Homo-oligomer: A and B are copies of this chain.
Amino acid sequence: MPVPNRNGLEIVSIDVKDVRFPTSLGSHGSDALHTDPNYSCAYVTTTTGNGKQGFGLTFTCGRGTEIIVLTIRSMKKFIIGKNAADIFADFAGFWRTITNDSQMRWIGPEKGVAHLAAAAILNSLWDLWARLENKPLWRLLVDMEPEELVSTIDFRYITDVITKEEAIKLLKDKQAGKDERVKYLMQHGYPAYTTQVGWLGYSDELVQSLCDKYLKLGFKFFKVKVGVNFEDDYRRCSAVRKCIGPNNVLMVDANQAWSVNEAIEWMKKLAPLKPMWIEEPTSPDDILGHAAISKALAPYNIGVATGEMCANRVMFKQFLQSGGMQYCQIDSARIGGVNEILSVYLMAEKLKVKVCPHAGGVGLCEMVQHLQYWDFASVSCTMQDRLIEYVDQQHEHFVDPCVVENAKYLAPKQPGYSTEFLPGILDRFAYPNGSEWRQMIKDGIFPPPDEAELVNV
């Protein structure tokens, strides 16, 4: 039983910081709808009476991070004084406490700001738990008995697809061969694809030189942003296809740019370039729209991928049920933390949909590798047509950054969820008073913060 001894584990503080990196200066991360992101996060440090700490974050794009930070401050009252061991012993119950407070749930429920804030807190608790067990998170998950793992999940609203009992049975049926799969992961890592070659703001020359670079690094899967101008898309995708050849894989990502019919027409015209998937063709809330697009594009062998902005397990459930998603792109920071993500993996396995997590941003690669490792060891038990997104940005800020070699995520080895920032990062990048921001604002590179952005400092 992995729940630790209670002594000293009462939670005495939840600290939260608004941390922003000035990525908009290089058009990194630019896409059809997010033209100038400053990759950012709300960063939570949870501390126990005996001085143990857990670190958790939720990813943001700059403006508005102050709102997530305040929401986490508002949620402190549900956590401070609770014992972490008690939380882990009834994690599903605790999860419901912070995601469904009888008054606060009105401003969600289980979506948007409120759920992002909950995710940061929950991720810090999972990091704490893994550290207490002296294991990387994926090993904590893999080593849990099926009953223990499933006890962390709130099954409300998903029992029409999977019940607690079915989830336990599913995990038990996959126990055989687990040790061999863990060994395989330790030796071979997990396949990655790159999104680095085709951000929308990049020039054609940069796209080509990046294709060459990532081919040399061993990548076989390449994702390109599309959706603003068809001729541009066709030219850029053609260039990538020419560079990577017919045997490597191209994926495209519209970041919600289109209506349903527009997505179908646009992708039919891109079909000759043989993309494996179209990602986020339309509104992240449009389940029936994604199902219609999936159906229309199936004859072209183009699958539909989505999930990075999918609000919660209930939305994922329907995408999985409806045939609206051939690739399930869970995001480690959006839905309600590890607890809720586990339920999505279990539903995806039950309904035989491949999970290819969203990553990039700040800390998403670091976190999501743990989840996908668990999936291979304990849930789907296969890597067939499964990949983890990889973007080579913002890793330098972390104590235990992900390591990708020969296009494989190598096994995380340090205890925890790989979410701790290096010393000094908060001093430099806390917004707006970190030293880097003070300098950039002084130099006129960015405008000063507005009054709302100052409430948490």
A260 at the B interface (CB under 8 A): yes
| A169 in contact (CB, < 8 A) | no
User: Given known contacts A68-B107, A159-B259, A285-B318, what 15 new A-B pairs fall within 8 Å (CB)?
Assistant: A34-B103, A36-B102, A60-B103, A61-B102, A63-B103, A64-B74, A64-B103, A66-B74, A107-B113, A108-B112, A109-B284, A111-B285, A283-B314, A286-B314, A288-B322
A164 to chain B, nearest CB (A): 12
Q: Is A73 close to B, CB under 8 A?
A: yes
Partner of A288, one of B33, B64, B156, B321: B321
CA distance A33 to B102 in the complex (A): 6
A455 within 8 A of B: yes
Q: Which residue of B is nearest A264, CB measured?
A: B160
Check if B107 sits within 8 Å of A64, measured CB to CB: yes
Residue in B114, B260, B285 whose CB lies within 8 Å of A311: B285
Chain B residue contacts of A157, Cβ below 8 A: 259-260, 282-283, 286, 289
Please judge, given known A-B contacts A285-B311, A285-B312, A453-B74, whether A60 and B159 are in contact too, CB under 8 Å: no
Separation of A260 and B159 alpha carbons in the complex (Å): 8
A residues near B, CB below 8 A?
A: 33-38, 59-64, 66-68, 70-71, 73-74, 76-77, 100-116, 156-160, 256, 259-261, 282-289, 292, 309, 311-312, 314-315, 317-318, 321-322, 450-453, 455-456
A-B residue pairs in contact (CB < 8 Å), sample of 26 = A34-B106, A35-B102, A36-B103, A37-B106, A60-B106, A61-B103, A61-B106, A63-B74, A64-B104, A64-B106, A67-B107, A73-B450, A74-B452, A107-B113, A108-B112, A111-B285, A112-B112, A112-B114, A159-B259, A285-B311, A286-B314, A287-B288, A288-B318, A288-B322, A289-B318, A311-B311
Q: Which residues of B lie under 8 Å from residue A35 when comparing CB positions?
A: 102
- Shortest distance between the CB of A132 and any CB in chain B (Å): 28
List B contacts of A108 (CB < 8 A): 112-113
Instruction: Check B450–A77 contact: CB distance below 8 A.
Output: yes
Q: A285-B314, A309-B109, A318-B288 are in contact. Are A259 and B71 (CB under 8 A)?
A: no
Across the interface, which residues of B come within 8 angstroms of A36, CB to CB? 102-103
- Find A104's partner among B63, B106, B284, B321 (CB 8 Å cutoff): B63
Q: How far is the CA of A77 from the CA of B60 in the complex (A)?
A: 19
B285 contacts A452, C-beta separation under 8 Å: no
Determine how close the nearest CB of chain B comes to the CB of A38; give it in whole angstroms: 7
Contacts A77-B450, A261-B160 hold; do A60 and B311 have CB atoms under 8 A apart? Answer: no
Q: How far is the CA of A321 from the CA of B318 in the complex (A)?
A: 15
Q: How far is the CA of A287 from the CA of B315 in the complex (A)?
A: 9
Q: How far is the CA of A109 from the CA of B61 in the complex (A)?
A: 12
Instruction: List B contacts of A61 (CB < 8 A).
Output: 102-106
- CB contacts (< 8 Å) of A102 on chain B: these are 33-37, 61
**Closest approach, in angstroms, between the C-beta of A308 and any C-beta of chain B?**
10
- Note all chain B residues with C-beta closer than 8 A to A156: 259, 283
In contact, A113 and B318 (Cβ under 8 angstroms)? no
Residue of B whose beta carbon sits closest to that of A117: B67
Q: What's the least CB distance linking A112 to chain B, in Å?
A: 3
Quick check: A103 and B285 within 8 Å, CB to CB? no
Output the least CB separation between A78 and chain B (Å). 10
User: How many Å lie between the Cα of A112 and that of B112 in the bound state?
Assistant: 5
Cβ of A104: which chain B residues have Cβ within 8 Å of it? 61, 63-64
